[in-house]
Amino acid sequence: MKLALCIGINDYPGTENDLSGCRNDADDWAAALIARGFDTRRLLDSAASGAAIRAGIRDLLGRATDGDAVVITYSGHGTWVPDEDGDEPDHRDEALCPHDIAENGPLIDDELHELFALAAPGVRTVLIADSCHSGTLTRLNHPIGDRPGRARFLPPSTFLTPQQRLRASLTTGPRKSRDRASTTVLLAGCRDAEYSYDASFDGRPNGAFTYVALSSLAALPESATYRDWLHAIRGRLPSQDYPQTPALQASKAQLAWPILT
């Protein structure tokens, strides 16, 4: 069994930081996954609340058994929050931004780690994230596409309380770091200290990473592996106009998996 959930959020009410290409990203990932035999559903804009995203991930992982594949794609804003449990060397937890982040907060990496840990042994889990993970909101001056790009980063000041913002600004001493090992493959649009960008190609909004990843995938043979895919993507990103470095977190065995199977 192959199961997929594609999340795309352009609309962020109360933040003044709407995006343009994320719904198209979700549609494009869904089309690619359906073509590979995945039972695929989408969560777009207001349907992609924090509760709905959590429930969607739990549902897929609850249905999957040994030998099955689960793929989650996320296109939208990324952000960070102050690390509360001392497991982050940079004192920040990276996070995804649901549609209702202004009311109910982000989905942090610690919780994602716990959600994916629900997968039964032998289930192949993959998370593809086209979002920023840290930094501040910026714009590109000379994008590759048809119009200026916007970083997919939501400033923490948008949703943190004044007390949380103060704590985030304080310099603290060394923190402990616990084992963050995960059996989930993570393909991300950028490194933690970089930005993923909205772009536009032939007049159609898309994430720069999603566009490159899917067009690179279409040119690869069916036998290609995640290692091959990353190599093809990095042949086009980072670029002078899109200084984002796609990242792949996977074990040696996972690097040799056939893509999206």
Number of CB atoms found within 10 A of residue 221's CB = 8
Classify residue 145: in a domain, yes or no.
Answer: yes
Whether the CB-CB separation of 42 and 29 falls below 8 Å is answered with no
pLDDT band at 47 (very low <50, low <70, confident <90, very high): very high
Mean pLDDT of the chain: 84
Round to whole Å and give the CA distance between 23 and 112.
21
The percentage of residues in the chain with a pLDDT greater than 90, rounded to a whole number, is 67
* Containing structural domain, residue 80: 2-255
Indicate if 77 belongs to the active site. Answer: yes
Classify residue 180: in a domain, yes or no.
Answer: yes
Domain harbouring 169, CATH code: 3.40.50.1460
**pLDDT digits 0-9 by tens, 88-106:** 444 578 899 999 999 999 9
Query: Is the confidence at residue 164, as pLDDT, over 60?
Result: no
What DSSP line would sit under 21-37, residue for residue? SHHHHHHHHHHHHHHTT
Classify residue 99: in a domain, yes or no.
Answer: yes
16: phi > 0 → left, psi -120 to 50 → alpha, else beta; which? left
Predicted pLDDT of residue 133: 62
Number of H helices, E strands in the chain: 8, 11
Round to whole Å and give the CA distance between 134 and 13.
21
Query: Is the confidence at residue 239, as pLDDT, over 60?
Result: yes
Query: Is the confidence at residue 246, as pLDDT, over 70?
Result: yes
Parallel/antiparallel/unpaired status of strands 69-75 and 107-108: unpaired
Classify residue 261: in a domain, yes or no.
Answer: no
From the candidates 6, 22, 97, 132, which is the catalytic residue? 132
Helix axes 208-218, 22-35, angle to 10 degrees: 20
From the candidates 77, 91, 99, 133, which is the catalytic residue? 77
Q: Identify any residues that bridge with 6 across adjacent strands, giving them in sequence order.
A: 42, 73
Count of structural domains within the chain: 1
Query: Is the confidence at residue 12, as pLDDT, over 60?
Result: yes
Whether the CB-CB separation of 210 and 130 falls below 8 Å is answered with yes
Predicted pLDDT of residue 172: 41
1 token code pair: 């069994």
- Cα-flanking dihedrals φ and ψ of residue 85, to 5°? -115, 10
Predicted pLDDT of residue 93: 80
**pLDDT digits 0-9 by tens, 187-205:** 999 988 888 999 999 999 9
Classify residue 113: in a domain, yes or no.
Answer: yes
List the one residue out of 93, 76, 176 whose CA is nearest residue 132: 76
35 token code pair: 């073509």
Decide which of 156 and 204 is more confident: 204
Whether the CB-CB separation of 150 and 19 falls below 8 Å is answered with yes
Indicate if 91 belongs to the active site. Answer: no
Query: Is the confidence at residue 137, as pLDDT, over 60?
Result: no
Classify residue 260: in a domain, yes or no.
Answer: no
What DSSP line would sit under 114-167, residue for residue? HHHTTSPTT-EEEEEEES--SS---B-SS-SSSS--BB-B--GGGTS-HHHHHH
Classify residue 172: in a domain, yes or no.
Answer: yes
pTM score: 0.84
Helix (H) or strand (E) holding 204: strand 204-207
Round to whole Å and give the CA distance between 168 and 10.
27
